[in-house]
Structure 1
């Protein structure tokens, strides 16, 4: 059962490149999600890689591989319905 608010701080975005405003907002959203309550600092690089794919999708420069990797990472992090099911996660208040 994932609580709706986990209260953990949002990690800093890795300073490997300049991030767009949309990428900053998505980073914040992912790390404030109930699923992020199950992640720790070791997930920062993985979420950053997913954010890079997200940036390619937003700028219409994504390849088929970018889309595939994005979906696979989102699923493995529990950010999709299938990922939630595979991890056995439900949201607080779901019946």
Structure 2
């Protein structure tokens, strides 16, 4: 049986086939302002800041703000118990596409600096 691939190995051919990006644990980038157009609750503001302080946010630019704000809105509705099935599904897809899930991290070829 072949050995499992280890993309972190410096001699791995798999690493060359798939670009691996090591994300900094503390990127030090500023947190963008929340989009205008609605009133944001305090817990939504906290979650917004937490998302923009993740290692994954080092790979986002300001154009990602709309997607991140949708994640915050869906998350808030899920916590409040008012989210529709569509909101649940979109939250899952958006968090994956932003690399906020293990599956999303793998798909994007991202690892954190401590791995």
TM-score tier by shorter-chain length is over 0.9
Q: Please provide the CA RMSD for this pair.
A: 0.7
List alignment gaps of at least 5 residues for structure 1.
none
Once residues 84 and 51 of structure 1 are traced to their aligned partners in structure 2, the CA distance between those partners, rounded to angstroms, is: 19
1:48 aligns with 2:69: yes
Other-structure match for 1:16:
37
* CA apart distance, 1:18: 0.8
- Could you say which structure has the higher helix fraction? 1
Of stretches 48-57 and 66-75 in structure 1, the one that deviates more from structure 2 is: 48-57
Other-structure match for 1:84:
105
Structure 1 residue corresponding to 2:54, chosen from 18, 33, 42: 33
List alignment gaps of at least 5 residues for structure 2.
1-21
Other-structure match for 1:61:
82
Instruction: Find the residue that maps to 1:90 and give its secondary structure.
Output: strand
Instruction: Find the residue that maps to 2:111 and give its secondary structure.
Output: coil
RCO greater where, 1 or 2, for CA within 8 Å and sep 6 or more?
Answer: 1
The TM-score normalised by the length of structure 2 is 0.80
Runs (4+) of structure 1 exceeding 3 A deviation are none
Larger Rg: 2
Deviations 1:37-94 (A, max 9, x none): 0000000011111111111112111011000000000000000000000001001021
- Could you say which structure has the higher strand fraction? 2
The TM-score normalised by the length of structure 1 is 0.96
